[in-house]
Amino acid sequence: MTQETVHAVTPLVRVQDLSVRFAGTPPVHAVNNVSFDLAPGEVLGILGESGSGKSVTLKTLLRLLPERKTKITGRVEVDGNDVLSLQGRALADHRGGVASMIFQDPALALDPVYTVGQQIAETVMRHEAISKSDAMTRALEMLELVRIPSAKRRLENYPHEMSGGMRQRAMIALALACRPKLLLADEPTTALDATVQIQILLLLRELQQEMGMGVIFVTHDIGVAVEVSDRLAVMYAGSFVETGSVRDVIRDARHPYSKGLLAANLVGAVPGTRLDAVPGAPPPLNALPEGCSFAPRCAHAEAACHASPLPVWTGADGRWARCVQASRTETLAKAEGQR
Amino acid sequence: MSTPILSAHSLVKHFNAGGFGAARKVVRAVDDVSFELAPGETLGVVGESGCGKSTTARLLVQLLTPDSGSVRYEGKMVGPELPLKSFRSKVQMVFQDSFASLNPRMTMIDAVAFGPMVHGVSRAEAMRKAQDLLDRVGLDPTRFGGRYAHELSGGQRQRVNIARALAFDPRVIVLDEAVSALDKSVEAQVLNLLMDLRRERGLTYVFISHDLNVVRHISDRVMVMYLGEVAEIGPAESLYSAPRHPYTEALLAAMPSLDPDRRTMEAPLAGDPPNPIDPPPGCRFHTRCAHAFGPCSAQVPVSHRVGTGHVAACHLNAKTEEVA
Amino acid sequence: MAVTADTVAHLATIEKSQGYWRSVWTRFLRDKVAVCAGLVAAGLVLMAVFAPWIAPANPLDGSMIKRLSPIGTEGYPLGADELGRDMLSRLIYGARLSLFMGVVPVLIAFTIGAAIGIAAGYLGGWVNTITMRVLDVLYAFPSVLLAIAISGALGAGILNGLLSLTVVFIPPIARVAESVTTSVRKLEYIEAAQASGASSLRIVRDHVLGNVLGPIFVYATSLISVSMILAAGLSFLGLGVSPPNAEWGLMLNTLRNAIYVQPWLAALPGVMIFLTSISFNMLSDGLRSAMDVKQ
């Protein structure tokens, strides 16, 4: 998908200024002023460590957070619907019909007392006026779609009778049964062995292209993100710090945190040498520092980093990074170019 | 190779998985595993879940007793020739779960001092040593010494676990997925610490991980395990650049490329790793191997020397290479 | 190497984190229900201890004219029982025997059961299998039946009642102790301690006990109410405590005939049993959640 079409069509997902607070003393600032668009058929990878707010962002798109303890501000639109105001029937149609989700642990996400076939058929019947036998036929199609061998027999299997990779395939089948326009993937391959992980990643990539759906893929693993994403967003302490096409972010990271992550993934490291490690740990989400949350760990931090709002550097193809230094180097480069 | 500091000789460990008589199920967790560690080197151990990496680690540090085979420290068989207690202070282990490996009711300084005290060091002396070690692993003892495990982050806890292992002044440390549960940026810090300590103290590591990138970075030699057996073992350099076992090849091919222009186009293996309860006959890998031919399903492959210190157990090497 | 004064001084500067039991206490204080239950339980215990000073009358002195006086009669604030004894005083004195029969068997059973369970759990293997199967046999009897059977065989009396209740509570406590210990034993800090070369006894003392006694104790406190009710049941059946002693279960039994004449009066011992058991149960619930260490 080329960059022009991304901007030409109305986005499938439009998130504006999304913030999520969890009740507590002091409250936990899990997501802070996150904005992004996702075009239909686009794959966005959200890369972040534990506690960065990546999963919370994803769950907000399905309104899966406990309502009483959560305060959500901002605007979330999926397929033209204002997700934050959906109620009752409309919310149920949204969950599973328009958008659906796959999780890290299929053993927890699938119901152990129903067969895989029953679960898929039931989901289809909930969203579409369709007979039970037709729903079962659809379930069979779905299992074949996710390349489960001898699918007919597997229809009768309970989740515990399947291996880890097979269960993950079954969960993908369940998520895609109603042909959603948006698939939300929350670390779906993290618990799997490497040789199985790559199978699932390739499957997701194929299915995404076949069905043309938009995907938001949350992971802590750069390698995984690169395998599946068109665009990449790097998240730190509840904020997006950098976004751009996968190629741009990997080849030319502008935010020092993204650079640190790449170094930690041993990109271009000589074996046996010390790594260029980012010191320290992320700040607690109930006591975020003023200005850039990464400044306390950043080797290049300066006075300007501790003030809000932070300058944002923008590049071509919707690239940007929220960093004082990134914006300055760009201005310098421009100035030099003009000279 | 000079006298190995630690060596495993035909280690076998099977677990009972229920059932009686003919229906008795046995998990063949480790089957005939042998290898040697030279002083000061780091051996990486890789493989998928159920390949026996963790069982091998526990056999090495004598937390499990092998069904047969033995572990030798500097050539002396542990048990008959070397008392277990003195072996314990020479070979230590760091576990994956940093929280579960610390007693929730013990302060960090007590946790580190416990080992030396078991070995007869006075309490004051053990405390002093624990302070120095906490300091060495990057934790200010005055701030962290009095804390409990749940008051520390994952990275800090793993530093404490490393300090605890160091408190014995060991020569060998077995690291069982010791950095796997940490966030990437913290993992890099701990890897740096491990590499610094190795240089300072001349430590020998057995570094077990599922992350091939990390293993490549820290290891001198790498051992690839599959369903309880050693598939291939050799210098990191040649094993990664020219693997001689199809399974090693597949593992390497399954690594995400980290290059958006050279994404993986084909999965090297289909399906999940088989269950170690009932491993396939012959070469255990033949059911998933793209190169499987005649003898693979019938004969257990012997180890062939395929390079300097590089051994692979695959029938493909039978014609060209000598038996190791 | 000699320990210098400097070393000691240096050690002293370590910031002591809030200890485990301190943090449990802080969390417990935040739980209002548990604190209320704790206060009620404490009040009941004080009432039992200071019964002779609190009680307005001798619990054994009866007056035939005042038999079954209703609640609120002058001089008898809570009425009088079927022999004309002051109900309030009997209820206060009753707390002594009732609490004794609730707490003591559980305490003894806790000591024995925890020892058995921790040993079986830590040693594992065939020791565990045999111990637990033997306990399962005892466990298979309903606790009421078992208590009645033992008491019946031994005859009435406080000591025999105590003994039978203790025997009834050993298997469940040992079971919980075994399962808690087994789960702790699988944790890696126990493996790390084993890899340190420490002896089993030392590992149990330094690493196991501190982590298992708390949960076992909490479970045992939840048995106090059961023990009280069982003791009351034994007394009710004429086993355990015998007249004219004041004990709530026994009082419930002897007032049973008056239930149509003075229903509120007859219900009073039951109210006390209910109040005591519910306050001990809520207290143990509160303790359990306060002792949960989160990562």
So what's the pLDDT on residue C13? 59
Helices and strands of chain C, counted as H and E runs: 13, 0
Closest-CA residue to B225 (of B254, B242, B245): B245
Give the containing element (helix H, strand E) for C193.
helix C188-195
Average pLDDT of the residues of chain A: 87
Instruction: List C-alpha distances in Å: A284 to A53, A305, C31.
Output: 12, 18, 26
Residue to test with chain C: of B94, B98, B103, most C Cβ within 10 A:
B103
* Cα–Cα distances in angstroms (integers) from residue C121 to residues A52, A59, C174, in the given order: 40, 42, 9
A224 pLDDT above the threshold of 70? yes
| HSE toward the beta carbon, residue B142, CA cutoff 13 A | 4
C247 vs A172, residue with greater confidence: A172
Domain limits, chain A = 3-338
Quick one: tokens of A187? 């670390």
Contact yes or no for C17 and B147 at CB 8 A: yes
Per-residue model confidence as pLDDT tens digits over C43-72:
988 988 887 888 777 777 777 776 777 777
Question: Of B89, B95, B146, which has the smallest distance from its Cβ to C197's Cβ?
Answer: B89
Q: Residue C10: helix, strand or coil by DSSP?
A: helix
What is the side-by-side order of every strand in the sheet holding B221-226? B91-94, B172-176, B204-208, B42-46, B221-226, B229-235, B310-312, B304-307, B322-323
Backbone angles phi, psi at A288, to 5 degrees: -75, 140
Average pLDDT over residues A140-144: 91
- Tell me the mean pLDDT in the region B99-111: 91
pLDDT digits (tens, 9 = 90+) for B68-77: 999 999 999 9
Is residue A33 helix, strand or coil? strand
Domain ranges of chain C: 27-59+66-290
- Helices assigned H by DSSP within B104-253: 108-118, 123-136, 141-144, 154-166, 184-201, 212-218, 236-241, 246-253
Whether the per-residue pLDDT at C135 is higher than 50: the answer is yes
CA-wise closest residue to A110 among A157, A147, A63 = A157
Q: What are the helix (H) ranges across chain A?
A: 3-8, 54-62, 88-93, 106-109, 116-127, 132-145, 151-154, 164-176, 194-211, 222-228, 246-251, 256-264, 324-338
Reply yes or no on whether the pLDDT at C291 is more than 90. Answer: no
For B141, nearest residue in chain C (alpha carbons): C14
What is the CA angle B196-B202-B208, rounded to 5? 70
CA–CA gap between residue B268 and residue B265 (Å, rounded): 9
Q: Residue length, chain B? A: 324
Nearest CA in chain B to A258: B185
Question: Is B49 an 8 Å CB contact of chain A?
Answer: yes
Nearest CA in chain B to C208: B103
Say if the Cβ atoms of B263 and A226 lie within 8 Å: yes
C11, B128: Cβ pair inside 8 Å? yes
- Angstroms from B70 CA to nearest CA on chain A: 30
Residue with tokens 């207290």, as numbered in its chain: C283
* Structure-block tokens of residue B71: 């572990």
From residue B184, how far is each of A50, A108, A266, A277 by CA, in Å?
Answer: 10, 26, 10, 9
Q: Residue with structure tokens 């203790």?
A: C166
Q: Which long-range contacts (CB under 8 A, 24 or more apart) does A320-323 make?
A: A320/A242, A320/A243, A320/A244, A321/A241, A321/A242, A321/A243, A321/A244, A321/A254, A321/A255, A321/A258, A322/A239, A322/A240, A322/A241, A322/A242, A322/A255, A322/A292, A323/A241, A323/A242, A323/A254, A323/A255, A323/A256, A323/A292
Cis bond before residue A26 (omega within 30° of 0): yes
Q: Which amino acid is at C9?
A: A
**Are A288 and A237 within 8 A, CB to CB?**
yes
Rounded to whole angstroms, the Cα distance separating B177 from B97 reads 9
Q: Show the CA angle centred on residue B16, arms to residues B13 and B18, nearest 5°.
A: 165
Question: What are phi and psi for residue A50, nearest 5 degrees?
Answer: -65, 140
What's the CA dihedral at A233, A237, A238, A240 to 10 degrees? -30
Structural Rg of chain B based on CA atoms: 21
Q: Which residue has the higher pLDDT, A203 or C2?
A: A203
The two beta strands, B304-307 and B76-77, are: unpaired
Would residue B142 count as lying in a domain? Answer: no
What is the topology classification, in CATH, of domain A3-338? Rossmann fold (3.40.50)
Q: Inter-chain contact B114–C191, Cβ cutoff 8 Å? A: no
CA distance C99 to C118: 27
Per-residue pLDDT reduced to its tens digit, C198-240:
888 899 988 998 889 888 988 888 888 788 888 888 887 878 7
CB contact under 8 A, B148 and C8: no
Q: CATH number of the domain at B253, please.
A: 3.40.50.300
Residue A269 has pLDDT above 70, yes or no: yes
- CA–CA separation, A82 and A76 (whole Å): 6
pLDDT at C38 over 60: yes
Phi, then psi, of A157 in degrees rounded to 5: -80, 145
Q: Supply B302's token pair.
A: 């012997």
User: Hey, are the CB atoms on A266 and B213 less than 8 Å from each other?
Assistant: yes
- The string of DSSP letters for A54-118 reads HHHHHHHHHT-S-GGGEEEEEEEEETTEEGGG--HHHHHHIIIIIEEEE-S-HHHHS-TTS-HHH
Q: What is the pTM of this model?
A: 0.84
Distance CA A270, CA C82 (A): 93
Q: Give chain B's domain count.
A: 1
Determine, for residues C188 and B125 on separate chains, whether the beta-carbon distance falls below 8 Å.
no
Interface of B with A in 140-179 (CB under 8 A): 153, 155-156
CB B101 within 8 A of CB C189: yes
- For B190, the closest chain A residue by CA position comes to A277
Q: Which helix (H) or strand (E) holds B310?
A: strand B310-312
pLDDT digits (tens, 9 = 90+) for B140-184: 998 899 888 888 888 999 999 999 999 999 999 999 999 988 888
Task: Closest CB to B146: pick one of C17, C193, C197.
Answer: C17
pLDDT above 90 for A106: no
Q: What are phi and psi of B322, to 5 degrees?
A: -85, 160
Question: Would you state the pLDDT for residue C78?
Answer: 74
Residue C295's pLDDT band, with cuts at 50, 70 and 90, is very low
pLDDT band at B200 (very low <50, low <70, confident <90, very high): very high
CATH of C27-59+66-290, one of 3.40.50.150, 3.40.630.30, 3.40.50.300, 1.10.3720.10: 1.10.3720.10
Question: Which of A3-17, A30-44, C77-91, C240-254 bottoms out in mean pLDDT, i.e. has the lowest?
Answer: A3-17
At C7, the pLDDT band (50, 70, 90 cuts) reads very low
Label residue C88 by pLDDT band (50, 70, 90): confident
C158 in the Ramachandran plot: left (φ > 0), alpha (ψ -120 to 50) or beta? alpha
For residue B140, being part of any structural domain is answered with no
Q: Using alpha carbons, select from A156, A158, A155 the residue that is nearest to residue A177.
A: A155
CA–CA dist B35, A212 (Å, integer): 51
Rounded to 10 degrees, the C-alpha dihedral C274/C277/C279/C280 comes to: 180
Q: How confident is the model at residue A239 (pLDDT cuts 50, 70, 90)?
A: very high
pLDDT value for A5: 46
pLDDT number for residue A204: 93
Range of the domain at B162: 6-105+148-323
Residue with tokens 């399906």: B271
* pLDDT beyond 50 at A2: no
Contacts of B99 in chain C (CB under 8 A): 295
With a CB cutoff of 8 Å and minimum separation 6, the contacts of C19 are none
Structure tokens at A165: 């990779």
Q: Which residue of B has its CA nearest to A50?
A: B183
- Give the Cα separation of B77 and C221 in Å (integer): 51
**Is residue B212 classed as helix, strand or coil in its secondary structure?**
helix
Chains C and B, touching by 3 or more CB pairs within 8 angstroms = yes
| First-last CA distance in chain B | 15
